[in-house]
Amino acid sequence: MTNFESRVYSISDFLEWDEKGQLILNPKFQRRNVWTPTARSFLMDTIVRGKPIPKVFLRQKINVQTKQSIRDVVDGQQRLRTILSFVKDGFVINPKHNPTYGGRFFSELSEIDDFIQENILKFEISTDLLVNLPDSEVLDIFSRLNSYSVTLNEQEKLNANHFGPFKTLADEVAHSFNSFWTNNKVLKDAEILRMADVTMTADLLIAMIEGIKSKKDVSKFYTSYESNFTADPGLLASNFAQVISDIQNIFPDGLKDTEFKRIHIFYTLFTTLFHLRFGLQELDKPRLDITANDFARVASRLDSVNSIFASDNKFGLNAEQLQFLEDSQRATTDRSVRKRRTEYLIDLILQ
């Protein structure tokens, strides 16, 4: 026997229920966590852009005294609190999330767009309605739902807990190069589904801003950038795209048959080309403004990297090649190792 019904309700429906006292936002089994202003802004930006949000669970029961339906919010309290607060002019969207509508209260949005307020109120929220179920049944349902949940990896936890401009930038840049990651065999579809593309992109963006860092420092920068991110997202995205374009020009046949498809070697290829064109912090190496005339020469120099890994006889490698090989096999994401690999490729290209 089905214990729930799937429905779709608009924001105006929830607003009407709240105003009539028919929406209970704080039942005894609801979690009490409170969202940050950044998280609230990110949710409303998602709605303003017309993108879907997670579904809400309501328990509907009848108040026999008033003969009205009462809806307990079983899951989605903070989402609904945020939405209702916004349409009641409780806060504004951060301009860093949305330059068009940021900084204005809901009542002021009509000054920008005649239809935006109506579109927000008409925004539909997928809802599972639990009808007349006792607390014990509600708790059992969610216990069963959580039994099938996949444990979040580190990047998924970062995305769940951060909503600032750096998180948004890393997501957007990573997703914009989806075909590049897969066509070049840098990442598999299954890895991208678990946000490996965002992990790698965030790691590279941090290098562009701060210089080469250890991968273990990514979470630290997510936290610090949440409240203090002064870099220009547009410039970072543009420079990132330029380096990807350089890679495509140097390797017209792609990376899938090279050592550079390996994530830690790709990281080094990216930081190398970024330094040559734009310069990395704390890296005392010459730069080179690579032009179309340089692509074939750079490709020829980088081709020797494949031979380092293909060599059956390590005694045929010189000291620098041996060091690069070791740095590509041990502690591959440590800062010092990453820095040595990048310096090796820079010297290889400039020699």
Alpha-carbon distance 268 to 310, whole Å?
Answer: 19
Please tell me the predicted confidence (pLDDT) of residue 68: 84
DSSP 190: H
Burial of 260 per CB tally in 10 Å (0-12, 13-18, 19+)? buried
Over residues 163-191, the mean pLDDT reads 95
pLDDT bucket at 33, cuts 50 / 70 / 90: low
Please tell me the predicted confidence (pLDDT) of residue 312: 66
pLDDT bucket at 74, cuts 50 / 70 / 90: confident
Determine the 3-state secondary structure of 114 from DSSP: coil
Please tell me the predicted confidence (pLDDT) of residue 346: 97
Alpha-carbon distance 127 to 148, whole Å?
Answer: 19
pLDDT above 60: residue 109: yes
Percent of the residues in the chain that have a pLDDT greater than 90, as a whole number: 77
pLDDT above 60: residue 30: no
More confident residue, 159 or 2: 159
pLDDT above 70: residue 259: yes
pLDDT bucket at 101, cuts 50 / 70 / 90: very high
pLDDT above 70: residue 29: no
pLDDT above 80: residue 32: no
Of 75-89, 198-212, 310-324, the poorest mean pLDDT is in: 310-324
According to DSSP, the β-strands at 23-24 and 68-75 are: parallel
Contacts of 168 (CB under 8 A, 6+ apart): 42, 97, 233
Among the listed residues 316, 194, 295, 309, the one whose alpha carbon sits nearest the alpha carbon of residue 251: 295
Q: Where are the domains of the chain?
A: 4-147, 154-350
Over residues 8-25, the mean pLDDT reads 95
pLDDT above 90: residue 201: yes
| Amino acid present at 9 | Y
Length of the chain: 351
pLDDT above 80: residue 139: no
pLDDT above 80: residue 314: no
More confident residue, 27 or 203: 203
pLDDT mean across residues, the chain: 92
pLDDT bucket at 313, cuts 50 / 70 / 90: low
Angle between helices 196-210 and 218-227 (to 10 degrees): 70
Interval 230-246: pLDDT, tens = 999 999 999 999 999 99
* Residue entry with tokens 């935006």: 116
Percent of the residues in the chain that have a pLDDT greater than 70, as a whole number: 95
pLDDT above 90: residue 127: yes
Of 140-149, 166-175, 329-338, the poorest mean pLDDT is in: 140-149
Over residues 259-284, the mean pLDDT reads 97
pTM, two decimal places: 0.85
Over residues 163-187, the mean pLDDT reads 95
